Chains A and B, each alone.
Chain A
């Protein structure tokens, strides 16, 4: 299967700071990547669709000014959580689909803890 990496795997930050998470497709090019958030004992919730070379598309209820997404190349998308608060603590996971595929492959996730 296709390989997606994510960095960092975990991060602890103080309230009010910003955190950047990187998502890379290692063996394929991805014009579209997806960002999810997962709280304990809940399923994945799609936050936004990251589109290479254009603006991200955010799901209802997700603040685009708080969760900044940049998809500057065909293998890299970044999610920046700005002015993080404790309620932003969660498991953030990205995914991508190889060309012509419908299934998504996930990065290993980033566990964010805001103190």
Chain B
């Protein structure tokens, strides 16, 4: 079983649509959770951290369910520029600072 699982997609949505990505993780000791965005042939960029209480940043909302070991990302009013791969990331659950990456979910927003 993969440590961080995501549906690879691709998700093809029209501009303005709302799209949701889900992720599950296997290590119950993980304490830090993130969504990163990666454009083709570029490095990952931090989109947002994910907290138990849920957090929102503009059109983006992230949720964490520790009991189910489940993380979600909701994107509202999709823009063409949102097209990218979204990586679900969790830490190792120790003090090493190491992160585990999901394989990513590809989003393609079409006009």
Interface residues of A (CB under 8 A from B): 1, 32, 34, 42-46, 49, 57, 91, 93, 97, 102-109, 111
User: How far apart are A50's CB and chain B's nearest CB, in angstroms?
Assistant: 11
* A104 cross-chain contacts in B, Cβ below 8 A: 46, 97, 99
Could you list 16 examples of A-B contacts with CB < 8 Å? Answer: A34-B97, A45-B101, A46-B99, A46-B100, A49-B97, A93-B43, A102-B32, A102-B49, A103-B32, A103-B34, A103-B46, A104-B97, A105-B46, A106-B45, A108-B42, A111-B41
* A105 cross-chain contacts in B, Cβ below 8 A: 46
B43 touches A97 (CB 8 A): no
* B interface residues, how many (CB within 8 angstroms): 21
A49-B96 in contact given A43-B101, A43-B102 (Cβ < 8 Å): yes
A44-B44 in contact given A102-B32, A102-B91, A103-B49 (Cβ < 8 Å): yes
Report how far A57 CA is from B41 CA in the complex, Å.
27
* A102 cross-chain contacts in B, Cβ below 8 A: 31-32, 49, 91, 97
Report how far A104 CA is from B102 CA in the complex, Å.
15
Report how far A46 CA is from B44 CA in the complex, Å.
13
* A108 cross-chain contacts in B, Cβ below 8 A: 42-43
B103 touches A42 (CB 8 A): yes
Report how far A43 CA is from B42 CA in the complex, Å.
12
A1 touches B101 (CB 8 A): no
* B46 cross-chain contacts in A, Cβ below 8 A: 1, 103-105
The answer to the question of B87 belonging to the interface, with a C-beta cut-off of 8 Å to chain A, is yes
A6 to chain B: closest residue by CB:
B43
Report how far A1 CA is from B57 CA in the complex, Å.
15
* A44 cross-chain contacts in B, Cβ below 8 A: 44, 87, 101
Would you list the 7 A-B pairs with minimal beta carbon distance, nearest first?
A106-B43, A102-B32, A43-B103, A43-B101, A44-B101, A109-B43, A108-B43
Report how far A46 CA is from B82 CA in the complex, Å.
26
Report how far A97 CA is from B34 CA in the complex, Å.
13
Partner of A107, one of B32, B41, B43, B102: B43
